[in-house]
Structure 1
Amino acid sequence: MSESSLAEMLRSRGLRLTAQRQLVLEAVLDLGHATPEQVHSAVREVAAGVNITTIYRTLELLERLGLVTHTHLSHGSPTYHAAGEDTHVHLVCRICGSVDEVDPEVFGPLADKLAAERGFQVDIGHVALFGVCGRTECEERRE
């Protein structure tokens, strides 16, 4: 998203574009999947005075605006990524912590079954599967 379109979106809601808001959005876009702490670290490289509370508030605002979304990939902080990305299922390695993505179609039959039998609509954008990735180091440590 360009700086001018972000500024227009914010202005239309009575808000203004601040350097911190722009930096937080850029950090999320650059990092791909990032916790607030990772966003904070990236932003501090450019603007040392930005505190973690500002990062959390800005991420919440950007999510309300529909620019970023979050999912929980561990027991810790949520992980944010651009909302404009294609929906995907997260694959999280319990050993090395890597995050990979797969097409949500892998859940098609399950989602269809849940909808038919229970009227439940799966939010694929918030699905995370935990396991062990195929890296040699991780496979060797598999329990």
Structure 2
Amino acid sequence: MSDSLARALKERGLRLTAQRQLVLEAVRELGHATPDEIHAKVQCIASGVNITTIYRTLELLEDLGLVTHAHLSHGAPTFHAAEDRHVHLVCRACGHVQELAVESVTPLAQQLRAERGFNLDVGHVALFGTCGSCQ
């Protein structure tokens, strides 16, 4: 994990810091997490890390292609590891987020590309509806 981060940072002339490593570890451990949730997780280990550092680090990690975000509610974006590509199914009733394999929307992505010349960023797709438990 830290090897990919260290390599990506080195390519940009940046150094690996404890804060950067802690934020990436928190994202990977939490799965889907807002910056506030990531901040709370990091603070359990390093209480001096402030929320501004979390936001800056998330932005950097996204630029490096290590994390990505999706808007799963009206609030803050939700971050997850970039290598874990999936579509999000969000229940409007309970807020539960389920993951759906990217292959499930491949036909739609191909249709959009063929008919409209549009390349769908599947990693940012969130489908809203009602889960089976809430129906």
* TM-score normalised by structure 1 residue count: 0.87
Query: Is the counterpart of residue 96 in structure 1 residue 101 in structure 2?
Result: no
Gaps of at least 5 residues in structure 2 are none
Corresponding position of 1:41: 40
Residue 67 of structure 1 aligns to which amino acid in structure 2? L
For 2:113, which of 112, 115, 140 is the aligned residue?
115
Q: Which residue is equivalent to 1:62? A: 61
Off by >6 Å, runs of 4+ in structure 1: none
Say whether the 8 Å CA contact 2:5–2:66 is kept in structure 1. no
Q: Separation in 1 of the partners of 2:113 and 2:91?
A: 29
Q: Percent identity, please.
A: 69
**Cα RMSD (Å):** 1.4
Give the superposition deviation at 1:123: 1.2
Query: What is the alpha-carbon distance in structure 2 between the residues aligned to residue 115 and residue 22 of structure 1?
Result: 37
Q: Report the number of matched residues.
A: 135
Q: Which string of whole-angstrom CA distances, capped at 9 and with x for unpartnered residues, describes residues 27-85 of structure 1?
A: 00100111111100100111111111100000000111111111111111111111111
How do residues 1-143 of structure 1 correspond to structure 2 at under 5 angstroms? 1=1, 3-85=2-84, 87-135=85-133, 138-139=134-135
Which secondary structure state, in structure 2, belongs to the residue aligned with residue 130 of structure 1? strand
The unaligned stretches of length 5 or more in structure 1 are none
Higher gyration radius (CA): 1
CA–CA separation in structure 2 for the residues paired with 1:94 and 1:9: 37
CA gap of 1:8–1:105, structure 2 versus 1, over 3 A, is closer
